[in-house]
Protein backbone atom coordinates (compact mmCIF):
# COMPACT_ATOMS: atom_id res chain seq x y z
CA UNK A 1 0.00 0.00 0.00
CA UNK A 2 1.27 3.47 -0.84
CA UNK A 3 0.65 6.16 1.75
CA UNK A 4 1.27 9.85 1.16
CA UNK A 5 2.08 12.08 4.11
CA UNK A 6 1.00 15.53 3.02
CA UNK A 7 3.97 17.79 2.42
CA UNK A 8 6.49 14.99 2.97
CA UNK A 9 6.17 12.32 0.31
CA UNK A 10 5.06 8.75 -0.27
CA UNK A 11 5.87 5.53 1.58
CA UNK A 12 5.28 1.94 0.51
CA UNK A 13 3.99 0.07 3.58
CA UNK A 14 3.60 -3.70 3.63
CA UNK A 15 0.25 -5.28 4.53
CA UNK A 16 1.88 -6.92 7.55
CA UNK A 17 1.99 -3.49 9.26
CA UNK A 18 -1.56 -2.39 8.56
CA UNK A 19 -3.05 -3.82 11.76
CA UNK A 20 -0.62 -1.77 13.87
CA UNK A 21 -1.39 1.32 11.80
CA UNK A 22 -5.10 0.68 12.33
CA UNK A 23 -4.54 0.58 16.10
CA UNK A 24 -2.81 3.95 15.92
CA UNK A 25 -5.62 5.24 13.71
CA UNK A 26 -8.11 4.17 16.40
CA UNK A 27 -6.13 6.16 19.00
CA UNK A 28 -6.30 9.17 16.71
CA UNK A 29 -10.07 8.77 16.29
CA UNK A 30 -10.54 8.56 20.06
CA UNK A 31 -8.59 11.79 20.54
CA UNK A 32 -10.58 13.50 17.80
CA UNK A 33 -13.90 12.43 19.27
CA UNK A 34 -12.82 13.68 22.69
CA UNK A 35 -11.51 16.95 21.26
CA UNK A 36 -8.34 16.34 23.27
CA UNK A 37 -5.60 18.41 21.61
CA UNK A 38 -2.61 16.90 23.50
CA UNK A 39 -3.87 13.35 22.91
CA UNK A 40 -4.56 14.22 19.25
CA UNK A 41 -1.01 15.58 18.74
CA UNK A 42 0.51 12.49 20.37
CA UNK A 43 -1.67 10.06 18.37
CA UNK A 44 -1.03 11.81 15.05
CA UNK A 45 2.70 11.86 15.76
CA UNK A 46 2.74 8.13 16.58
CA UNK A 47 0.79 7.30 13.41
CA UNK A 48 3.09 9.33 11.16
CA UNK A 49 6.20 7.96 12.88
CA UNK A 50 4.95 4.40 12.34
CA UNK A 51 4.33 5.02 8.63
CA UNK A 52 7.88 6.32 8.30
CA UNK A 53 9.30 3.45 10.38
CA UNK A 54 7.46 0.65 8.57
CA UNK A 55 7.38 2.26 5.14
CA UNK A 56 9.97 2.60 2.44
CA UNK A 57 10.15 6.13 1.02
CA UNK A 58 9.42 6.41 -2.68
CA UNK A 59 11.57 8.72 -4.80
CA UNK A 60 10.28 12.29 -5.08
CA UNK A 61 9.85 11.86 -8.84
CA UNK A 62 7.75 8.69 -8.42
CA UNK A 63 4.37 8.80 -10.18
CA UNK A 64 2.76 6.06 -8.10
CA UNK A 65 -0.84 6.79 -7.11
CA UNK A 66 -1.37 6.97 -3.35
CA UNK A 67 -3.77 4.47 -1.80
CA UNK A 68 -4.41 6.93 1.01
CA UNK A 69 -3.33 10.35 2.14
CA UNK A 70 -2.34 11.18 5.70
CA UNK A 71 -2.28 14.67 7.20
CA UNK A 72 1.03 16.27 8.03
CA UNK A 73 2.20 16.63 11.62
CA UNK A 74 1.00 20.25 11.76
CA UNK A 75 -2.60 19.46 10.77
CA UNK A 76 -5.29 20.76 13.11
CA UNK A 77 -8.02 18.70 14.71
CA UNK A 78 -10.56 20.38 12.40
CA UNK A 79 -8.51 19.58 9.28
CA UNK A 80 -8.20 15.92 10.26
CA UNK A 81 -11.90 15.71 11.12
CA UNK A 82 -12.67 17.01 7.65
CA UNK A 83 -10.41 14.34 6.10
CA UNK A 84 -12.17 11.65 8.12
CA UNK A 85 -15.61 12.82 7.03
CA UNK A 86 -14.58 12.39 3.42
CA UNK A 87 -13.07 8.94 4.12
CA UNK A 88 -15.89 7.63 6.30
CA UNK A 89 -14.08 5.16 8.56
CA UNK A 90 -10.82 6.56 9.81
CA UNK A 91 -7.71 7.55 7.99
CA UNK A 92 -6.64 3.95 7.36
CA UNK A 93 -9.91 2.20 6.42
CA UNK A 94 -10.79 -1.46 6.34
CA UNK A 95 -7.61 -3.34 7.17
CA UNK A 96 -8.24 -4.72 10.67
CA UNK A 97 -8.38 -8.48 10.98
- Whether 24 and 88 have beta carbons less than 8 Å apart is answered as no
pLDDT at 93: 56
- Evaluate whether 2 touches 58 at the Cβ level (below 8 Å): yes
First-to-last C-alpha distance (Å) of the chain = 16
CB 6 within 8 A of CB 44: no
Tell me, what's the pLDDT at 89?
Answer: 54
Is the per-residue pLDDT at 84 higher than 80? no
Mean pLDDT, residues 71-83: 91
Q: What is the mean pLDDT of residues 40-68?
A: 93
Task: Give me the sheet containing 68-70, strands edge to edge.
Answer: 56-57, 9-12, 2-5, 68-70
Beta strand 9-12 pairing with 56-57: antiparallel
% of the chain residues with pLDDT over 70: 87
Look over the chain and give the mean of its residue pLDDT values, rounded to a whole number: 87
Amino acid sequence: MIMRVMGEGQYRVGDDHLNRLNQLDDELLTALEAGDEPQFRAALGKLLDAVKEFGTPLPDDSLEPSDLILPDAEATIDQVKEMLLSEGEGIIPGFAE
